[in-house]
């Protein structure tokens, strides 16, 4: 049988940013008429590779061939001109103008006086959408339609006027329900039958196995491998995605012998059928004093959503949350702070540090917010608090007045931890606290979690690294597809968790 030719081939792609090797000798190939999944956890290099393929970034090394010819993709516009179209998770069209205007923008049909022919534009836009099985009123504003329809409009525009041979779909189903996702898949199948190659970036493994032909896995900026979808078991895919890192941390006991058994009795924090529609399925959970509950799951499993509901960033619409037996009536981060709950967010750059403030100013932010801005912390008190936690956490800095943006990733993470520890929380939620920091800093933060438990604090520890979840937790919750699917004791092994994440248990 004749091999299907590659429409796109990237070999040895390398890209560095200041202090970060984002891609190292990465290969990727796409055949005509295939749906190819690009898979990896946060920081794997997916976004950087897509930016290189679409001309947003230029590679430091490696080559790209398109339709059999070597190319240098100079810009996103150049990528569109040669036939590479991208539809992003956030649709970048104009929601305040009509569907037809969005599709025909820059290609509007003209009447005999040179003015826009609205009738022709609506007819042509409607015809183009119907090719993909979409029959809607194209004269209505784009914003009056769902995100799913907006994505179809973006795809239609890309295919209609850019002569696309490759379509990149970046997390297209993250905001879609099951029916809308199936509608998108039907469109993808039509495009595949027409010979268009599709790169499908997603964190929903069920969808990977439902729609794709091949899978390429990246991890920590490196190429792991390319596999035929129908011959790769899910648990092997997950093993490839997660790898086996942190072997240098074996000095930390997985038996958690330092920490006493969690206090029995009333839960410090309890969720009872707590959930939010299209966000997180209802969960039940009890967190005891001096207990660390680990949360395992792939990107998009619902880990962060669970943290956000508990901390009040999002409000549940089902069930209830109890703190020391009292029902939470108002959900907000400030209310959570007053109730003794703190959250170290997943994205320290976007949601954690304030880079242009000093270490001292970053550390006292949450405490000052809890006191209120009319009860201002004195400068002497601010320095006292900052110096206490700089010493406690071993933050490497010449002074509390050092700007946080000038610190290493590990020290920035410690500053965020210091901010929340300064509020003296009874429950500390850590969402990926060791991501992107060196092994030494990982060790220190993991030891800190165990020390806090020994002091009577309770902790929810969320991490993509199974080894550290096992190492730091008394119990482990496993999430998949925004559902809590299993709970295990400390004796569970990583193979059991991976099988559970894959849906095999």
Query: Rounded to whole angstroms, how far apart are CA atoms 346 and 411?
Result: 15
Q: For the ranges 25-34, 146-155, 206-215, which has the lowest average pLDDT? A: 146-155
Calpha distance 98→95 (Å, rounded): 7
Same domain, yes or no, for 222 and 280? no
- Residue 356's pLDDT is 79
C-alpha span between 505 and 490 (Å, rounded): 18
Assess whether 14 and 31 both reside in one domain. Answer: yes
Q: How far apart are alpha carbons 200 and 169 in whole angstroms?
A: 5
Name the least confident of 20-34, 41-55, 409-423: 409-423
pLDDT in tens, 154-212: 888 877 755 789 999 988 887 676 777 888 898 899 999 999 999 999 877 888 999 99
More confident site: 322 or 415: 322
Question: CB neighbours of 493 closer than 8 A, spacing ≥ 6?
Answer: 470
Q: Both 72 and 210 in a single domain?
A: yes
Q: Is 456 found in the same domain as 354?
A: no
Last residue of a domain, one of 184, 215, 242: 242
- At residue 418, does pLDDT exceed 90? no
**Domain identity same for 328 and 258:** yes
Q: Kindly report which listed range (62-66, 245-249, 290-294, 362-366) carries the lowest average pLDDT score.
A: 245-249
Quote the pLDDT of residue 248.
Answer: 37
- Under 8 Å CB-to-CB from 14, ≥6 apart: which residues? 21, 23, 24, 25, 26, 59, 60, 61, 62
| DSSP-assigned beta bridge partners for residue 403 | 358
Retrieve residue 412's tokens: 């920035």
Q: Could you read off the pLDDT of 69-128 as tens digits, one per residue?
A: 999 999 988 998 899 988 876 667 888 899 998 888 877 888 777 788 888 889 988 988
Percent of the chain scoring above 90 in pLDDT? 32
**pLDDT higher for 504 or 458?**
458
**DSSP alpha helix (H) spans, 67-146:** 76-82, 99-104, 118-131
Query: What's the mean pLDDT when you consider all of the chain?
Result: 84
Q: Which residue has the higher pLDDT, 257 or 24?
A: 24
Which tens digit of pLDDT belongs to each residue from 341-384?
988 877 655 556 777 788 888 888 877 777 766 677 788 888 88
Query: Which pLDDT band, with edges at 50, 70 and 90, does 389 fall under?
Result: confident
Q: Residue 244: phi, psi to the nearest 5?
A: -130, 85
Residue that is last in its domain, among 370, 397, 424: 424
Nearest to 310 by CA among 290, 348, 336: 336
Q: What pLDDT sits at residue 247?
A: 39
Instruction: Decide if pLDDT at 34 tops 80.
Output: yes
What is the number of domains present in the chain? Answer: 3
* C-beta neighbour count of 368 within 10 angstroms: 17
Q: Higher pLDDT residue, 460 or 391?
A: 460
Mean pLDDT of all residues in 214-223: 92
Q: In this model, does residue 392 exceed pLDDT 80?
A: no
Which strand (E) or helix (H) includes residue 46? helix 46-53
Q: From CA 36, how far away is CA 54, in angstroms rounded? A: 16
Cα 168 from Cα 35, distance rounded (Å)? 10
Q: Name which of 275-284, 292-301, 320-329, 352-361 the model is least confident about.
A: 352-361
Q: Is residue 56 part of a domain?
A: yes
Round to whole Å and give the CA distance between 151 and 162. 16
442 and 371 in a common domain: no
Q: What is the pLDDT of residue 447?
A: 79
CA distance 458 to 20: 34
d(CA 325, CA 291): 17
Phi, psi torsion values for 125, nearest 5 degrees: -65, -40
| Residue 374 pLDDT | 67
Domain assignment present for 1 = no
pLDDT value of residue 89: 67
3-state secondary structure of 218: strand
Where residue 477 sits, what CATH number does that domain have?
A: 3.40.50.300
Last residue of a domain, one of 424, 443, 462: 424
Whether residue 443 sits in one domain with residue 469: yes
Report which of residues 411 and 313 the model is more confident about.
313
148 pLDDT above the threshold of 70:
yes
Q: Evaluate whether 302 touches 313 at the Cβ level (below 8 Å).
A: no
pLDDT at 29: 96
Question: What confidence score (pLDDT) does residue 246 get?
Answer: 36
| Antiparallel, parallel or unpaired: β 6-17 and 61-66 | antiparallel
Partners of 23 in beta bridges:
15
State the CB neighbour count (10 A cutoff) for residue 276. Answer: 18
Residues 231, 5: Cα–Cα separation, whole Å: 21
Q: Are residues 253 and 214 in the same domain?
A: no
* Same domain membership, residue 127 and residue 110: yes
Pair 210, 305 in one domain: no
149, 233, 471 from 84: Cα distances, Å: 21, 31, 45
Say what the pLDDT of residue 440 is. Answer: 58
> 287 falls in which pLDDT band (50, 70, 90)?
very high
pLDDT at residue 488 above 90? yes
pLDDT in tens, 432-451: 877 655 555 667 777 778 88
pTM for this prediction: 0.64
Residue 161 is predicted with a pLDDT of 59
Instruction: Answer yes or no: is 482 within a domain.
Output: yes
Reference 217, options 198, 195, 196, 201; nearest CA is 201
Please answer whether residues 292 and 332 qualify as being in contact, where contact means their C-beta atoms are separated by less than 8 angstroms: no
Residue 436 has a pLDDT of 57
Q: Do 230 and 250 belong together in one domain?
A: no
Provide the residue range defining the domain that includes 504.
246-340+426-505
pLDDT at 42: 66
With 90 as the cut, is the pLDDT of residue 129 above it?
Answer: no
The pairing of beta strand 35-39 with beta strand 197-201: parallel
pLDDT at 272: 95
Q: What is the pLDDT of residue 257?
A: 45
Mean pLDDT for the stretch of residues 261-272? 77
């Amino acid at each position: 049988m004749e091999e299907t030719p590659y429409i796109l081939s990237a070999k040895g792609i390398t890209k560095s940013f200041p202090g970060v090797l984002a891609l190292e000798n990465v290969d990727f190939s796409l055949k005509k008429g295939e749906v190819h999944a690009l898979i990896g956890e946060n920081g794997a290099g997916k976004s950087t590779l897509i930016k290189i393929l679409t001309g947003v970034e230029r590679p430091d090394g490696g080559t790209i061939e398109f339709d059999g010819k070597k190319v240098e993709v100079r810009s996103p516009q150049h990528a569109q001109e040669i036939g590479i179209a991208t539809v992003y998770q956030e649709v970048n069209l104009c929601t305040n103008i009509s569907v037809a205007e969005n599709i025909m923008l820059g290609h509007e049909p003209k009447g005999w006086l040179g003015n826009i022919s609205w009738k022709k534009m609506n007819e042509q836009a409607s015809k183009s959408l119907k090719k993909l099985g979409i029959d809607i009123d194209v004269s209505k504003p784009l914003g009056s339609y769902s995100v799913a329809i907006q994505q179809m409009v973006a795809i239609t525009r890309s295919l209609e006027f850019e002569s696309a041979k490759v379509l990149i779909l970046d997390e297209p189903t993250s905001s879609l329900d099951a029916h809308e996702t199936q509608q998108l898949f039907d469109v993808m199948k039509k495009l595949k039958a027409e010979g268009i190659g599709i790169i499908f970036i997603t964190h929903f493994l069920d969808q990977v196995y439902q729609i794709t032909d091949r899978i390429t896995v990246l991890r920590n900026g490196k190429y792991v491998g390319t596999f035929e979808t129908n011959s790769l078991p899910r648990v092997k895919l997950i093993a490839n995605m997660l790898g086996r890192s942190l072997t240098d941390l074996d000095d930390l006991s997985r038996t958690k012998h330092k920490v006493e058994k969690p206090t029995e009795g009333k839960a410090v924090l309890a969720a009872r059928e707590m959930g939010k529609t299209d966000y997180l399925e209802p969960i039940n959970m009890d967190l005891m004093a001096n207990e660390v509950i680990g949360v395992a799951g792939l990107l998009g499993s619902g880990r962060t959503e669970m943290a956000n509901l508990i901390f009040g960033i999002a409000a549940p619409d089902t069930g209830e949350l109890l703190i020391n037996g009292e029902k939470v009536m108002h959900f907000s981060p400030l209310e959570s702070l007053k109730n003794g709950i703190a959250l170290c967010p997943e994205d320290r750059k976007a949601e954690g540090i304030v880079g242009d403030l000093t270490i001292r100013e970053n550390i006292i932010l949450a405490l000052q917010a809890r006191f209120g801005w009319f009860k201002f912390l004195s400068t002497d008190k601010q320095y006292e608090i900052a110096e206490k936690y700089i010493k406690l956490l071993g933050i490497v800095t010449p002074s509390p007045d050092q700007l946080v943006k000038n610190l290493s990733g590990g020290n920035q993470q410690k500053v965020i931890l210091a901010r929340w520890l300064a509020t003296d929380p009874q429950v500390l939620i850590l969402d990926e606290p060791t991501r992107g920091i060196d092994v030494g800093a990982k060790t220190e933060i993991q030891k800190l979690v165990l020390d806090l438990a020994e002091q009577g604090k309770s902790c929810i520890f969320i991490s993509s690294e199974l080894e550290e979840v096992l190492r730091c937790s008394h119990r482990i919750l496993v999430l998949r597809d925004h559902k809590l699917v299993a709970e295990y004791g400390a004796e569970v092994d990583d193979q059991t968790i991976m099988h559970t994440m894959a849906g095999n248990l």
